[in-house]
Amino acid sequence: MLNPMFLSEDNTHAFPCYRWLVGEVTIELREGPAKKLCDDSLSPLFLSHRKRQLDERQQIYRWLAWEPKIPKCLDAKTEKELPQDVRFDNEKQGDFEGSLHYALLELSLKKLVIHFGKSWDTLEDFKRIFWRLKSPVAEYVMEHWKEDCFFGFQFLNGSNPTMIQQCQRLPRNFPVSADMVQASLQAGTTLSKEMKAGNIYLMDYAILDGLPANVIQGKKQHLTAPLCLLYEHPDKGLIPLAIQLGQTPGPKSPVYLPSDPPLAWLLSKIWVRNSEFQIFQILTHLLCTHLMMEVFCVATLRQLPAVHPVYKLLTPHLRYTLEINTRGRSQLISEDSIFKRVSSTGGPAILLLSQKGYQTLSYESLQPPLDFQRRGVMKLRDYFYREDSLMLWDAIQSYVSGLVSLYYSSDSDVTQDLELQLWIRDITEEGFGDIPLFGLSSELRSRKELVTLLSVVIFTCSVQHAATNNGQFDWCAWVPNTPCTMRLPPPTCKDSVTMEMIMESLPDISQSCMEMAITWHLSRAQPDAIPLGRHTEEYFTEEAAQAEIRRFNETLKEIEQKIEERNHSLALKYETLKPSRIENSITI
């Protein structure tokens, strides 16, 4: 990649390139300062250059409706069809392709993965694949995974921290009575009082109801759609009160309670954790970060020339999105897909779940302040994901606002930017055309709307992806805590649960090995990671813009320090959203 410089007697002029030059090619470069369309209105040469660049890009980057009722994507079957400019460099490509192979071999799993269908004998046996790849969090999980308070903690700070919601009225299909849960409440209170006080919360996995479970090497796996009622106890933290392993109550779908036989209660929690695996992998992670952000990436390449300020702002955060997603799609539809070989939702359920999740998404749900308020979780204690997300959202929004104000002095500047308006129309009418209730307008009418949208993109590509991706191994390495699949159907009688049933329900030896390898591969620190706020490629050359970038990085340093000070007194540190651990873009 080149960044040619033109030198004069008085000053230096930068001509950002950041493109691969292969063979004998001729390219036209603009000088560094960002320019809107109106800024070039008096120069036919510059206007012609903008148009030629976009015409060329629109021929290369075409929309594809991969499947109905999910976000559109780039028209490319494999990563080999992608232009070199949006592909991995050689080192990252080699690292990406070799890491999963390394996980299977270096973990001494090679001899174990052949034991398809063979169950572990005891829970202790899972340690046989735990000894080489582990982390401080994973070790903590192994020691505490059976505890009710830790079970509740994971809804706040695990890999799926965006689903818990306040419960002000019990669902009709969840027949939990006050007497059932009284023993778990603080003395002197009732379920009704705690619900009115806002201390009762719900995890409802109804979206999994009716999905076809995967079949792995001829053996049917099992899915369920649990309901889990939680209580923020003043002393114990967030604890489960009741669990129902299906959406239809009845004699064969009992409500499990902490007072039930210990193995029955443990298995009911394992089932909830299995549902967590499906949701965070397919919806919270794949759909809400990867697939949603590809729409912005394709539209940006199609509608904004390289000199446009929004292109310069977003490009570092959309880097590698197309390569990662194209690889992922080709892997998901492959008959040899690793995910199909280990997950309850492998196969057709992946697409069906994505489609169901996509139709329920809203633009507000991608804005942390609005999402936390909507779910009624602003006062939940020890919700470190919320605390860190809000700090980072404010920092990103301030950074974006500062940059936008440099190039858009008024709301009319936004409305009159034809390229920007074509960009938002491409996003809403093409990329998100199958989700009419999403809530994102096809027109940008103010600087505030533009700042919010750009903040959503940057936050999702960096912070939100880190929150749902980077902790996968931590929470899944101890397989019983978050099993990728369940091999027996849920029990219909509490008294029938035995340890043998639990072991036959949990992933077998081969599936356990593959779960560890996949989650390590996906969540490991990338060797060439570029932390949030850092820019290895200088798209903005103006001093005022570079000053905004410096201010952003100073704010991130302050946030890092606050997180470290909070974590100092915690038995289990929440470090997932330390800015130094958040990548600028989705690179895995």
Is-contact 464 288, C-beta < 8 A?
yes
Structure tokens at 275: 């549902």
Work out the number of other CB atoms within 10 angstroms of the CB of residue 251.
Answer: 7
Q: What are phi and psi of 540, to 5 degrees?
A: -95, 125
Name the β-bridge partners of 202: 165, 229
Binding residues: 285, 290, 465, 588
Structure tokens at 297: 């990436």
Q: Determine the Cα–Cα distance for residues 407 and 37; give it in Å rounded to an integer.
A: 11
Is-contact 544 517, C-beta < 8 A?
no
Q: What are phi and psi of 488, to 5 degrees?
A: -120, 155
Q: Determine the Cα–Cα distance for residues 347 and 345; give it in Å rounded to an integer.
A: 6
Q: Determine the Cα–Cα distance for residues 83 and 349; give it in Å rounded to an integer.
A: 31
Q: Determine the Cα–Cα distance for residues 296 and 287; give it in Å rounded to an integer.
A: 13
DSSP category for residue 163:
-
DSSP category for residue 449:
H
Give me the amino acid identity at 328: G
Q: Determine the Cα–Cα distance for residues 214 and 339; give it in Å rounded to an integer.
A: 10
Q: Determine the Cα–Cα distance for residues 286 and 213; give it in Å rounded to an integer.
A: 19
Nearest to 280 by CA among 456, 148, 467: 467
Is-contact 424 249, C-beta < 8 A?
no
CA dihedral 514, 519, 525, 528 (to 10 degrees): 70
Name the β-bridge partners of 232: 238
Structure tokens at 540: 């903005």
Binding residues for Fe cation: 285, 290, 465, 588
Structure tokens at 462: 């960096």
Which residue bears the tokens 């069809």? Answer: 81
